[in-house]
């Protein structure tokens, strides 16, 4: 998986602009960022950014990798 070298445009459910941050893995798509923001925004007082969503997604990806490896860290 090569990281992206450029920003990709997307939109959120309320039509606000959303950009897939540069440098994220290819499996983090605009749709995944949009959905992450839509799901988690009600739980945050601050407005979540695409960078926040990408960090959340990457962290969950690392957690999944650790749990699915079957060996302790």
pLDDT at residue number 3: 45
Task: Return d(Cα 2, Cα 16) in angstroms, integer.
Answer: 28
pLDDT at residue number 46: 95
Domain ranges of the chain: 8-69
pLDDT at residue number 19: 77
Q: What is the pTM of this model?
A: 0.68
pLDDT of the chain, 73 residues: tens digit per residue: 344 444 445 544 555 556 788 888 888 999 999 999 999 999 999 999 999 999 999 999 899 988 998 766 5
pLDDT at residue number 71: 64
- Phi-psi category of residue 23: left, alpha or beta, with phi > 0 → left and psi -120 to 50 → alpha: left
């Amino acid at each position: 998986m090569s990281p992206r070298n450029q920003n990709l445009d997307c939109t959120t459910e309320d039509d606000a602009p959303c950009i897939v941050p540069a440098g994220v893995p290819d499996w983090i798509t605009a749709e995944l960022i949009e959905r992450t923001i839509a799901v988690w925004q009600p739980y945050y007082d601050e407005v979540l950014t695409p960078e926040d969503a990408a960090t959340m997604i990457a962290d969950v990806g690392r957690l999944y990798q650790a749990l699915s490896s079957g060996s302790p860290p």
